[in-house]
Structure 1
């Protein structure tokens, strides 16, 4: 695999870090990181031996963490934070972590919040900036959503950079998903074109957990944890009726990670339908026949479907949203109607219940595990930006925090491998057929 994993930098670092970490190397000592420290993409012995035989260095990411020398003088640094795209558990935790890290770890006492996504940079929208201090972000992690508001859609990159320059902002932290990060890259390129010394760091936010080379995005764990009791209750609904069928639609536009992990966490699910899979509704081996066979044995069935699944079943397109994403048909309602229609044709009684908890899930506060993760992501983003790194996202790979170039992160979406262990776990847990097509 050939990838350029070089992280852009604003220039040499000459300012001593205020962190005052121990320089003594030791197993239990937390030390400064440096750009030579790498985290392997593939940790298998087989890959290492193959690289050794070819005389090649294995693919590796730059390790995140505090640097002994930093680029920005904290006393003269002004930072800004913006949140974009759909809501996700943990956004407020990340905002809080950024503000606290800047203030208490580095002594940066000038941080502002940009309201309503990239719109907040455009003067014509009239959204005021928000002063962010340790005092006014102290309790925001207890609430879901984002205190800064959000929006979708592209804005004029030149105007965004004009605002950064006009307000003497040195560092921009952008919290968002694929579209937000593409916007970050465009901002970085415009900053470079103008020769400005502004660092831009991304914190990847996607409830779908589908950002490339990021093993877990914040909010994902809260999402499928919140879905867990909903699936439990849906199962109770299905069991409570003769030939009861419950359908739960969860988020997942292009990747089915929420649906899969929610189903594995509550293994009463009988069918999991995700965007990565091909299937048929009709026919002896189709989904409808599989559900009918299930009812013949147990008199109830529980289906979990990701929102982006089965779009090939529709014969028209709905255009795109403000972010340029293709609008998807409602597969949940479609499946409900098709199941009802099927059993009527079979003259077979069936009770179908449909549940869509999507907006409840994405607006939930972060759970304990995600809260810890958000704080670590935020602090590592601060470390990287203060060292003058730009055009990067901070993430985790092989249980280590890394810097990832934005072009690599947005090159393609991470998807479930239908030949991999995770999907095999689903097949084992649900007992659904390996394929539902002729």
Structure 2
């Protein structure tokens, strides 16, 4: 009997989710498997927003941002009633395997489904935050870094023209991968992220920044501070006010926000989404279950969901040290 594979996207959207959906659909078609989708993430699974997926639905989607299956965050999946209703929908449609593309919360939801549903579950890492273990890069991360880098390059132009100080806040939830990759790529004078800052050091950090800013302004240059979101007490505005109060330094704030989640995915993400989507179907055919498919050191791997969820993925010490060596120049 033909296997029926379902796919949904959950949580924050990430560029190249569509590439993964496309690869799953086309691979199912190649292997003569039936592919179906559920709109609006786990909400659509609970509410039975079911759609059959065909190759003509996904062929022109590689270059599109967002997700053609839509996405959402689902509070009902935090309750046993919501999880059981999701499983009932899967049984109603005689689904043999479920693929979920999303981040940490989405994979937790998939793990909850596995506790009440006897069929195969496969996760794919779809988040711009790059905070999932079991893969070097998550689907969407490369595009988010590229988008933020291009934006900050433009900010640098006007900062140089006016010799101004800019505080640029980037996304990443509780991870510094975007902050460090973008900060180093743009030559930011300061990167403030989870790996090199804690709230109890705010006063010390402001003093450090003021010293670096003073030295940089003597060379008639701009000064860029890349700040990870959800980190500084009171946010970017509070940092700006501290610089003004303690050092009479004026600065401008630019919060990049959701532009980092949108836009056409870069080739790296399109290829990663395609590779992992194909591998997800292969994993189902070979009987794998309760795993996330990722890529490490150039190889596709499968990691147990529990391990992915419970293993932290900090920014490498190499990146943190690379920035510190640059910052030290301004503190001498």
Say whether residues 1:408 and 2:312 are aligned partners. Answer: no
Structure 1 counterpart of 2:102 = 176
> Within 2, Cα distance between the matches of 1:285 and 1:270?
15
Say whether residues 1:303 and 2:229 are aligned partners. Answer: no
Structure 2 counterparts to residues 263-412 of structure 1, below 5 A:
263-267=183-187, 269-278=188-197, 280-282=201-203, 285-310=207-232, 313=233, 331-343=235-247, 346=248, 350=250, 352-412=251-311
Higher relative helix content: 2
**Secondary structure at the counterpart of residue 115 of structure 2:** helix
**Secondary structure at the counterpart of residue 226 of structure 1:** helix
Structure 2 counterparts to residues 122-137 of structure 1, below 5 A:
122-123=46-47, 128-137=49-58
Q: 1:423 aligns with which of 301, 312, 320?
A: 320
**Secondary structure at the counterpart of residue 118 of structure 1:** helix
Question: How much has 1:335 moved relative to structure 2?
Answer: 2.1
Pair 1:365–1:101, CA change in 2 (3 A) = same
Q: 2:171 aligns with which of 245, 248, 251?
A: 251
Question: How much has 1:278 moved relative to structure 2?
Answer: 2.3
Say whether residues 1:236 and 2:236 are aligned partners. Answer: no
TM-score by length of 2: 0.91
> Within 2, Cα distance between the matches of 1:211 and 1:145?
20
Q: Is the CA contact 1:254–1:415 (under 8 Å) kept in the aligned structure 2?
A: no
Structure 1 counterpart of 2:87 = 161
Deviations 1:306-346 (A, max 9, x none): 11333xx35xxxxxxxxxxxxxxxx2233233334444xx3
Q: Is the CA contact 1:276–1:416 (under 8 Å) kept in the aligned structure 2?
A: yes
Pair 1:377–1:288, CA change in 2 (3 A) = same
Structure 2 counterparts to residues 212-227 of structure 1, below 5 A:
212-227=133-148
**Secondary structure at the counterpart of residue 263 of structure 2:** coil
Structure 2 counterparts to residues 11-90 of structure 1, below 5 A:
76-90=2-16
> Within 2, Cα distance between the matches of 1:414 and 1:90?
21
Q: Which runs of 5+ in 2 are unaligned?
A: none
Structure 2 counterparts to residues 98-117 of structure 1, below 5 A:
98-104=24-30, 106-108=31-33, 110-117=34-41
Question: What is the aligned length?
Answer: 324
**Secondary structure at the counterpart of residue 227 of structure 1:** helix
Question: How much has 1:128 moved relative to structure 2?
Answer: 2.8
Q: Is the CA contact 2:134–2:292 (under 8 Å) kept in the aligned structure 1?
A: no
- The answer to which of 134-143 and 273-282 deviates more is 273-282
Q: Is the CA contact 2:196–2:320 (under 8 Å) kept in the aligned structure 1?
A: no
Q: Which runs of 5+ in 1 are unaligned?
A: 1-72, 315-330
